Amino acid sequence: MFSYTDILSPTDEFEFWADQARQGRGEAKERAENFVDLFKPISKDYGGLDAMSLQDAMEIVDITQDTLDDVWRQTEFDPYPENRMAHLMDCIGKWGCKLVIKWVGIVMERANVLILNVSFTVSKMKSGQEITQNLH
């Protein structure tokens, strides 16, 4: 049975399927391997939050949308569980919020050290808003 307490981040979900692919047998193993392959375009990106640039995050949001669509629409094996997908999407949304909070913190830190550059601040806030809108 799926437990939400086991998956706290997108990376946790990707690792779950990798573990299932290593430990499973027969069709369950093949199904897990299929999900591992489908998640490959994004599986490494979600671990590098601290080093991620705004442009990289915007690109990952686009790739994530395509990847989740591919996972959801695959027909080779039993469908991806709806409750898992909903929870994964929630984790991805929280990841995006953490990223925006990080950038806002950086902007505010710079504003405290330097003379407030309004266009820089507005630009970063708009980019953060765009990312969170794309996550919905």
pTM for this entry: 0.76
pLDDT tens across 14-69, in order? 999 999 999 999 999 999 999 999 999 999 888 776 677 778 888 888 899 999 99
Note the pLDDT of residue 111: 61
- Listed residue (93, 86, 73) closest to 136, CA to CA: 93
Instruction: Tally the domains of the chain.
Output: 1
The two most distant CA atoms of the chain are separated, in Å, by 62
For residue 80, what are the domain limits?
8-135
List the one residue out of 12, 24, 64 whose CA is nearest residue 40. Answer: 64
Residue 2 lies in a domain: no
pLDDT band with cut points at 50, 70 and 90 for residue 89: very high
The average pLDDT across 108-115 equals 59
Considering the domain boundaries, does residue 80 fall inside one?
A: yes
pLDDT at 5 over 90: no
